[in-house]
Amino acid sequence: TKKAFIFDLDGVIVDTAKYHYLAWQKIANELNIEFTHEHNELLKGVSRVRSLDIILELGKVTASQEDKNRWLVQKNEDYLSYLVDMDESEILPGVFPILKFLKENNQPIALGSASKNARPILEKTGLLSYFDAVVDGNDVTNAKPDPEVFLMAAKLLNATPENSIVFEDSVAGVQAANIGNMTSIGIGDASTLHEAKHIFKDFTAIDTHFIEELIKE
């Protein structure tokens, strides 16, 4: 059977989750909204627009659309400033060997990310050519936990959802994979990602034997 290996980007392939956090924290600070690491978990995998709404809800702040638009631009400019010097050194440990192993075994690979900055990040890190399909925040209308982004990626790779494997670091993303009937693999903290079918602390904990089994299943 034909498989599809679908990767989230932020926090899975590259360590950009910390930059998103810093940029949101800045906005939250300006608005005097308390924004902790636990709050930040709620924003992982979530679109930019929805993330701002969640932060405003946390602080019970109501704002005009004009203000919101300004903060969204500010957040993205700040975020992009962290990416200026990005190169392959920001690929998370263990990711590259797995991508290489999948390629050597002729397995289709897609990106399934909520980010509108996904393509430039793949280019900067030199990974774009590893992906047979890229589905990102510019392509979808429904944010994770809606499975739209992953369903679109599976379709582009000609695989059924049941034969699709999703690597995710966010709760919303794991839920999206599960709702889409895909095999969810959580990358990160086991207590946060307990809904995932398999959980690994990072890609160095995944061996090629495990991937071989996924290919065969």
Residue from 68, 103, 116, 197 touching ligand G6P (CB under 6 A): that is 116
* 117 part of the interface to ligand G6P, by CB under 6 A: yes
Residue 52 beta carbon to Mg ion: minimum distance, rounded to whole angstroms? 17
Q: Which stretch binds ligand G6P (CB under 6 A): 30-38, 46-54, 91-99, 206-214?
A: 46-54
Residue 105 beta carbon to ligand G6P: minimum distance, rounded to whole angstroms? 28
Using DSSP's 3-state secondary structure scheme, residue 207 falls into coil
Find out whether 210 and 98 touch, Cβ atoms under 8 Å: no
- Cβ neighbours around 107 below 10 Å, total: 20
Residue from 3, 45, 111, 153 touching ligand G6P (CB under 6 A): that is 45
Cα separation, 217 vs 53, in Å, equals: 41
Pick out the residues of the known binding site for Mg(2+): 8, 10, 168-169
Residue 72 beta carbon to ligand G6P: minimum distance, rounded to whole angstroms? 8
Active site residue 8: yes
Name residue 166's amino acid.
V
**Dihedral of CA 193/118/101/126: which sign?**
negative
Find out whether 83 and 117 touch, Cβ atoms under 8 Å: yes
Q: Residue 137's binding partner, choosing from Mg ion, ligand G6P, none, with beta-carbon cut-off 5 to 8 A by kind? A: ligand G6P
Active site residue 10: yes
Cα 215–Cα 89–Cα 129 angle in degrees, nearest 5: 50
* 114 part of the interface to ligand G6P, by CB under 6 A: yes
Find out whether 38 and 187 touch, Cβ atoms under 8 Å: no
Binding site for ligand G6P (CB under 6 A): 10-11, 20, 43-48, 51, 76, 113-117, 137, 170
